[in-house]
Chains A and B, each alone.
Chain A
Amino acid sequence: MSIMQIVALAVVAVVLIVIIRQERPELALQLSMVAGLIITVFVVWKLAGIVKVLERLALRADLNMVFLGALLKIIGIAYIAEFGTQVCRDAGENALAIKVELAGKVTILILAVPIISTIVSTVERLLP
């Protein structure tokens, strides 16, 4: 049901954007952002179920919840940073897109530091 609607929405949106791009490129950019946002919101809501299954599996494997929480945060940041980067690239602003991507990477790195330190300490304990 949903994938057909999404593809139909995307195709219709693309046609409208091409019509508007000839005269008003700024409106065409905004229209492509709106179409992207609609599809992304629809998809993200589908992800909620998957995240719940992941949490249940982690609980059953009595994994430390800090790691799963950090992992989910990183995925969320990746999605949002990716959205911003692609919008900047659509508008032709590659420099801005790279800056947004850099910000996303730094934020993810900050979140990954505790996991890395845990891994290193575990390895140290394993070594003789």
Chain B
Amino acid sequence: MELLNVGLLFKLAGIGILIMVFTQVLNQAEKKEQAQLLTLAGVVVVMIVIVKLIGDLFNSVRSIFNLY
């Protein structure tokens, strides 16, 4: 269970670093709006993964502590 998620963490870190680099490049190329759009896209992608993980956490807590 642990190994699957470590890969996920590295994937998201990769996305973050890539976006960091691309926004720098875009800023140098005088394309500020596209840099901001790219950052927004990155945030949305990571947020999708986070919502899924939060869903998993809440379902497991609900099933274990029979919270309804």
Q: Which residues of A contact B (CB under 8 A)?
A: 2, 5-6, 9, 12-13, 16, 19-20, 23-24, 26-28, 30-31, 33-35, 37-38, 40-42, 44-45, 47-48, 51, 69, 72-73, 75-77, 79-80, 83
Main secondary structure of the interface of B (DSSP, over half): helix
Distance in angstroms between the alpha carbons of A81 and B39 in the assembled complex:
29
Q: Within 8 Å of chain A (Cβ to Cβ): is B46?
A: yes
Alpha-carbon gap, A35 to B54, bound state (A): 11
Check B50 against A45 for contact (C-beta < 8 Å).
no
User: Is B37's CB within 8 Å of the partner chain A?
Assistant: no
Q: Which of B9, B16, B24, B58 has the largest count of A CB atoms less than 10 A from its CB? A: B16
What residues of A have a CB within 8 angstroms of the CB of B24 in the complex? 23
Query: Could you list 28 A-B pairs, sorted by A, with CB under 8 Å?
Result: A9-B5, A13-B9, A13-B13, A16-B9, A20-B13, A20-B20, A23-B23, A24-B19, A24-B23, A24-B42, A27-B16, A30-B46, A30-B50, A31-B46, A33-B50, A34-B49, A35-B9, A38-B2, A38-B5, A38-B8, A38-B9, A41-B56, A42-B1, A45-B64, A76-B61, A76-B65, A79-B61, A80-B61
Most A CB within 10 A of own CB, among B15, B43, B65 = B65
Cβ-Cβ contact count across A and B, 8 Å cutoff: 109
User: Scoring B residues 1 to 44 as 1 if CB is less than 8 Å from chain A, else 0, what string do you get?
Assistant: 11001101100110111011001100000000000000100110
User: Taking CB as reference atom, which chain A residue is nearest B60?
Assistant: A44
The winner among B17, B19, B50, B57 for most chain A CB atoms within 10 A is B57
Chain A nearest Cβ from B14, distance in angstroms:
9
Question: With a CB–CB cut-off of 8 A, which chain B residues contact A73?
Answer: 65-67
In the complex, A33→B49 CA distance in Å? 11
Given known A16-B13, A27-B43, contact A34–B19 (CB-CB < 8 A):
no
Once bound together, how far apart are the Cα atoms of A9 and B6, in whole Å? Answer: 7
